[in-house]
Amino acid sequence: MRICVAGGAGYIGSHVSHALVNAGHEVVVFDNLSTGLRTSVPEKATFVHGDVSDPLLSRKTLKGCDAIVYLAASKDAGASMLDPIRYTRNNLQATMSFFDAANDCGVKYVVFSSSAAVFGESQYLPLDEDHPKDPTNYYGYTKLEIERVLAWYDKLLGIKSASLRYFNAAGYDPDGKVTGLERNPANLIPVVMEVACGVRKGMQVFGTDWNTKDGTCLRDYIHVTDLADAHLRALDHLEKGGATFAVNLGTGSGQSVLDVIHAAEKISGRKVNYQAVGRRAGDPEALWASGEKAKQLLGWVPKHSSIESIVETTWNAYKANGLVK
Ligand code: WQD
CA 113, 116, 120, 123 torsion: positive or negative?
positive
For 98, the domain range is 2-169+221-249
Closest CA to 126 of 245, 211, 251, 210: 251
Residue 217: its pLDDT value, please?
96
Residue 183: its pLDDT value, please?
87
Is residue 44 in a domain? yes
Is residue 276 in a domain? no
Best residue for ligand 1 mutational test, from 122, 188, 208 (most atoms within 8 Å of Cβ): 188
The closest residue, in CA terms, to atom 1 on ligand 1 is 188
Is residue 22 within 8 Å of 45, Cβ to Cβ? no
Is residue 192 in a domain? no
Residue 282: its pLDDT value, please?
76
Residue 25: its pLDDT value, please?
98
* Bond before 126 cis per omega within 30 degrees: yes
pLDDT(242) > 80: yes
Is residue 207 in a domain? no
Is residue 152 in a domain? yes
Residue 245: its pLDDT value, please?
98
- How far is the C-alpha of 182 from the C-alpha of 97, rounded, in Å? 27
pLDDT(301) > 80: yes
Could you tell me what percent of the chain has a pLDDT over 70?
Answer: 100
Is residue 218 within 8 Å of 285, Cβ to Cβ? yes
* Mean pLDDT, the chain, integer: 97
The closest residue, in CA terms, to atom 3 on ligand 1 is 206
With bands split at pLDDT 50, 70 and 90, how would you rate the model's confidence at 160? very high
Beta strands in the chain (DSSP E): 2-6, 26-31, 46-49, 67-70, 109-115, 160-166, 168-170, 203-206, 218-219, 221-223, 245-249, 255-256, 274-277
Is residue 210 in a domain? no
Burial, 202: exposed, middle or buried (Cβ in 10 Å; 0-12, 13-18, 19+)? exposed
**DSSP-assigned letter for residue 49:** E
Helix axes 188-196 and 257-268, enclosed angle (nearest 10): 30
Is residue 318 in a domain? no
What value does the mean pLDDT take over residues 84-106?
A: 98
- Bridge partners (DSSP) of residue 222 are 169
Cα(208) to centroid of ligand 1, in Å?
Answer: 15
Residue 78: its pLDDT value, please?
86
Q: What pTM did the predictor assign?
A: 0.96
Atom index in ligand 1 nearest the CA of residue 206 equals: 30
Task: List Cα–Cα distances, 199 to 88, 177, 283, 309, in angstroms.
Answer: 33, 23, 25, 22
pLDDT(284) > 90: no
pLDDT in tens, 52-67: 999 999 999 999 999 9
Is residue 139 in a domain? yes
- What is the domain count for the chain? 1
Helix axes 55-62 and 94-104, enclosed angle (nearest 10): 40
pLDDT in tens, 197-223: 999 999 999 999 999 999 999 999 999
pLDDT(318) > 90: yes
Cα(129) to centroid of ligand 1, in Å?
Answer: 21
CATH of residue 15's domain is 3.40.50.720
- How far is the C-alpha of 22 from the C-alpha of 42, rounded, in Å? 9
